[in-house]
Structure 1
Amino acid sequence: MIEKVLKWFEKINSIPRESDKEERISNFLVDFAKERNLEVYQDEALNVIIKKPATKGYENAPTVIIQGHMDMVCEKAQGSNHNFDEDPIAFIREGDILRADNTTLGADDGIAIAYGLALLDSNDIEHPNLEILCTTAEETTMNGALSLSKEHLKGEIVLNIDGEEEGVFLISSAGGITSLVSFDINREKCSGDLAKIVVSELKGGHSGMEINKQRANAIKLMGRILYEVKDLINIVNIKGGSKDNAIATYGEIVVASNNMKRVKEIISKISLMIKAEYEFEDPDIKIDIEDFREKRDEMFSKDLTENIIEFIYSMPYGVEYMFNNDELKGVVKASLNLGIVEEKDKEVLFTISIRSAVDSILDEIRNKIKILANRMNAKVEENSAYPSWQYSKDSNIRNIIVNTYKDFSGKEPIITAVHAGLECGILKNLIPNADIISFGPDIFRVHTPDEYCSISSVERTFEYLKKILSEIK
């Protein structure tokens, strides 16, 4: 059966399917269904739902939605001539490893689609009524899942095949929103000496998956440093961070002062303290201050300087809440990340990523930011919202998963949550009574040209998926 799965995976990978360019793969899935006389629906967002009736003895079992996304992240190694708009993804098999040729493999989430096609193409697998749901744009905006209508989905058990570690089963994911805090720039004539402060060489990391590692944030460190000298300086320019969902690794700020000698003394002292505090979590932090020789005619007003410094200094950062129940103990429940500060369109703009597995806590954090911004004479806008998939104490499919996995593998499954967004949250909003779980085979170095998967794990996970379907009666 593994060869059938790999056959369909290779077929999928012969069709370009970069995020937001899914028309060809979506049409292929529709044609696949029509060739087999299966009910199929394609919506305006190019999502595809293919339905297959239950096998004998499973006619009265609950309908199961098997869900994955058809798009992939397209990255290639330096020097590669691969054209993701036209060229198929190469398959290179090396023992148990399946990889591409200096490009992303697309196992995330092509394996899920291949599983679905293998199930639909078979005549000898026991299963309830199936709805194979293939979504678009998961790797970018999740607009595919957000565009879904419940009209064509009858199932209330959802198996999301978007995991990357065999034996790990997800039962909750974070929702999120991006908060944009902006300060109108008021300038005055520049006076005093100029210096540039640079915070660099931080580890950084993903603002969801690695926020619990207590790593430093370059923007927050800038706020802490500047707070110690705020009465002695005016900001001239400020920038830091690169992505809202990445812990900021770099920041720089140009300041003006009539007592730069004292400013340098204070910053040198606080820098040593900060480095000592992060000796283990972020040991390579560099904090430098040097004279700035370029001419500047204007600087931020004193009020604006103080408001920006106090906003950064007071802005919450990192883990806000942790789970404390038996299944999810030690998993982050809510966090926020000050990802970017930049000067843009006569404003200083801060971009903040907020995540929470509980919607009410997300609202609490949003309100904290609004209150703080209001006190500092700043404006707040919000965008890029996506819902959480909240933990449910009772889940029949989870019980089936646990018992079946123990019998199938002889191992205890790992039941946990992920502090990042999954389509499961959107599906739960769409189908409130849905009983959802997420899992998948071993896939490594996802979203990089070094991506690869374990063939044996792909096979075991498919056999396990078949076993789950046989247990749903």
Structure 2
Amino acid sequence: MHIKDIEPKKVFDFFQEISNIPRGSGNEKAISDYLVAFAKERGLEVIQDEALNIIIRKPGTKGYEEAPGVILQGHMDMVCEKNNDTIHDFEKDPIKLKIEGDYIYAEGTTLGADNGIAVAYSLAILDAEDIPHPPLEVLITTEEETGLIGAMAVKPEHIKGRILINLDSEEEGKFLVSCAGGVRNKVILPISYEAPFDNGCCYTLKIRGLKGGHSGLDIIRQRANSNKLAGRVLADIIESCSIRLISLQGGSKTNAIPREMDVVFYGSMEEENQLKDIVARWQDIIANEYRAVDENAVVLLEKMDVKAEQVFDRETTEKAVQLLYLIPSGIRTMSQDIPGLVQSSTNLGVVITSKEQVEFHSAIRSSVGSLKEEIVKETKYIAKALGVEAVFQAGYPEWQYNSESKIRNISCEVYERLTGEKPEIVAIHAGVECGLFSEKFDNMDMISFGPNLYDVHTPEEHMSITSVQNLWVFLKELLKAIQ
């Protein structure tokens, strides 16, 4: 079977066409121009903005002229990953599609169904003359995969509709209705040094064996955070032993739950047995607390065969431990609307030491703006109390659950009528473009859904043909039902 032989032909033909156009994030000029040409060839109104976002308008069909305007939305860029033995230039080579049973794959590269299938659906709707629909705006953004950059640049005056259907979800039968907003935080502790005291040596406290995970999607699993564990152990040590810190290095990304932490410190050799006893006790505590979610967690103490030229002074040492202990991390609140959904959280993802300072980096998330600000304020007050600086940056808005969503109600009714089953209403504790649109456009009623995609962002990415077909039928019936 060839992709050109699969129904619905228009959807898969357009998917094939856009797969022939290189469209990695930041390299969208060609695909953006293709969409402009598509619209002009059909006499449709089109806007190409400075960020290369595309907006195409099509009037409502007969009987739908006065229906509420609907926006079909997705992004044109794709993640470019390939296997080591695959020869492929994402700047110029087309994606080579192949069919295996019910699935479409690419040959050794990412498929780009995330989010090329949204573009294909939208073009098929715009191209059709026999599909009833309200006035349509198709909004296709750029650089979604590298930080929602295109969505940030969309101008509110370019958008008329107030019902938005985002086609960037990846599980058929699940309707996404909320996402978290977030902000990045950095607490900065300047280092004051002193000479090491006599009769001491260097030690390394190590946290190992943790599973980690995505700080938004996996925070619900309540896995251990290596940076916070180190803070707990160190807080116990400094109450009993005379130590001075030398460096703290934990985690690699703020949006990942840290798996490892190394704390190098200087301690008295006379207190070595006491240090060992404290670490051994904490090994038992950690093994008990995390036996169900991080069963391989270990805390280790290693003596180092090096000399310390200088160490943190007492005040810097104490403040570093206090910050590790006090900076909030983990689940803060759960949703009252959607069972099992984390509503707000924060993750102390990275602790890094340079010559001048120690930096504590956190990712703060919430689907309710006021709760995000609550965590921000708490962190500010902790920093202020300890006399250090807190910096907040890279904020993005949440998409808060709308208990009165008409498009959700209509979507559920249509889905149940077609399938005989109720869809699953879901929310994610991570950011999507709908969060930006909820802030950018007043009173926008939104929902997100899509066909079954698997292993996205990897060369194993594949898309279910049957699911694409099912969602095509659903999308057409949904547009027909919006009057």
Q: CA deviation at 1:169?
A: 0.5
Shift of 1:260: 2.9
TM-score (norm 1): 0.97
For the Cα contact (< 8 Å) 1:178–1:382, is it kept in 2? yes
1:189 alignment partner, one of 167, 191, 195: 195
Q: Report SS of the residue matched to 2:308.
A: coil
Deviation at 1:385, TM superposition (A): 0.6
CA gap 1:295/1:345 in 2 versus in 1, 3 angstroms: closer
2:188 is the counterpart of 1:178: no
CA contact under 8 A between 1:201 and 1:285: conserved in structure 2?
yes
Q: Deviation at 1:21?
A: 2.2
Per-residue deviation, residues 328-366 of structure 1 (Å, max 9, x unmatched): 122111111111111246221111001101101110010
Match of 1:267 in 2: 279
Q: Would the alpha carbon gap of residues 171 and 377 (structure 1) be closer, same or farther in structure 2, given more than 3 Å must change?
A: same
Pairs within 5 Å for 1:219-258: 219-230=227-238, 231-258=241-268
For 1:215 and 1:46, the matched residues in 2 are separated by: 41
Q: 2:348: which partner in 1?
A: 338
Question: 2:321 maps to what in 1?
Answer: 309
Out of 198, 212, 221, the residue aligned to residue 213 of structure 1 is: 221
Equivalence for 1:134:
140
Shift of 1:229: 0.7
Residue in 2 that maps onto 1:21: 27
1:446 to 432, 448, 456: 456
Q: Distance in 2 between matches of 1:345 and 1:425?
A: 39
Residue pair 1:225, 1:271 contacting (<8 A) in 2 also:
no
Q: Which residue is 2:13 aligned to?
A: 7
Contact residue 239 and residue 253 of structure 1 kept, 8 A: yes
Q: Percent identity?
A: 44
Aligned equivalent of 1:293, options 305, 310, 320: 305
How many residue pairs match? The answer is 471
Q: Are 1:153 and 2:159 an aligned pair?
A: yes
Name the TM-score, length of structure 2 as normaliser.
0.95
User: What RMSD over aligned residues (CA atoms) do the two structures have, in Å?
Assistant: 1.3
Q: 2:432 aligns with which of 398, 406, 422?
A: 422
SS of the counterpart of 2:407? Answer: helix
Q: For residues 215-243 of structure 1, what are the alpha-carbon distances to aligned partners after superposition, in whole Å with 9 as ceiling and x for unaligned?
A: 00111111111111124211111111111
The answer to whether the 8 A contact 1:254-1:292 is kept is no
Q: Which amino acid aligns with 2:180?
A: A
1:159-205 Cα offsets, whole Å, 9 max, x none, are 01111110100111111100111111212223421111221221111
CA–CA separation in structure 2 for the residues paired with 1:403 and 1:345: 61
- Please tell me the residue identity of whatever aligns with 1:222: A
Question: What is the deviation of 1:71?
Answer: 1.2
Q: SS where residue 473 of structure 2 aligns?
A: helix
Shift of 1:81: 2.6
Q: Could you tell me how far apart the structure 1 residues matched to 2:128 and 2:65 are?
A: 17
Structure 2 stretches of 5 or more lacking a match? Answer: 1-6
Matched, 1:457 2:467: yes
Contact 1:232–1:263 under 8 Å retained in 2: no
The runs of 4+ residues in structure 1 deviating greater than 3 Å are: none
Distance between the aligned counterparts of 1:294 and 1:66, measured in 2? 62
How far apart in 1 are the matches of 2:355 and 2:443? Answer: 45
1:39 maps to a residue whose letter is E
Tell me the equivalent position of 2:482.
Answer: 472
The answer on 1:324 being equivalent to 2:332 is: no
